[in-house]
Amino acid sequence: MNEIFIYENTLPKAYHQALLALENYGEITDCADWDTTQKEISVTICIGYPLEEPMISKLFIGGPKELEQYRQEVLDGILDFEIEKGNWTYTYHDRIVNYPLHGEKVGSYLNQIDFVINELKRNPSSRRAVILVRDPSIDAFDGDPACLQHIQYFIRENKLHCKVLFRSNDACKANFMNMFAFILLQKRIADALDIEVGTYTHRANSFHCYEKDFNMLKSYVKAINDPNEDNEYDYIDDWDEIMEEYKPEIDNMVKELKSH
């Protein structure tokens, strides 16, 4: 597999460079579990100033409503109830705040955000502030196991740095929203610690695009390479206000899903 490292100051620039790398260096491989082929690389994406504007790329499948819904799913767990209803086996939010414990503590659950905050307050130089998402007792037997594996936080030079590992990451349909949401989670934890946000590093062992989306990838690459295309927008005082307008619609959707 081709191994790519990307460093950019901002989220959309890093995301766009990752798409270009996939198009230029991706290898076509089989994806038997989904009966298709894929273009694939391994990529490490490091963003130097993840909160610096512009934060939004228009080159993802969705818009302000979809981004706001995903933000709420990851940060607030608005769809965690789908697990109790038996429709899903996990959400990232549920794994993060209700991780099942084993051994003598079986039957108990750990809020890993609280753990990370308390650990970094205990020892700001700690290397133990890890959020585990993979649960082998479930994922080893699930046909669609969690793609996110773990998140690790470091305080260095009084800034909170975040390292995220995905075993598998859909480049065109998921990656941008993943990074956006986990940067906002990083900010939430940094605010709780009263420190600044540092770098955000996103590792995808399989950064891929499925065959049915090859044309989507090509259209994104064309837009990135076009100097006349405006592919980046501010989040604060721009998209955040548009996203706010969709909150009532998302609330109604959640209520409708809960009622069935």
The residues carrying an active-site annotation are 147
* Burial state string for 69-106 with b = 16 or more CB within 10 A and e = fewer than 16: bbbbbbbebbbbebbeeeeebbbbbbbbbbbeeeeeee
| 3-class DSSP assignment, residue 89 | coil
Per-residue pLDDT tens, the chain, 260 aa: give them. Answer: 999 999 999 999 999 999 999 999 999 999 999 899 999 999 999 999 999 999 999 999 999 999 999 999 999 999 999 999 999 999 999 999 999 998 889 999 999 999 999 999 999 999 999 999 999 999 999 999 999 999 999 999 999 999 999 999 999 999 999 999 999 999 999 999 999 999 999 999 999 999 999 999 999 999 999 999 999 999 999 999 999 999 999 999 999 999 98
Q: State both tokens at 35.
A: 């009966």
Query: Topology of 3-259 in CATH?
Result: Thymidylate Synthase; Chain A (3.30.572)
pTM, full prediction: 0.97
In angstroms, the CA 164 to CA 168 distance is 12
State the pLDDT at residue 118: 98
pLDDT at 260: 86
Cα gap 23→67, rounded to integer Å: 24
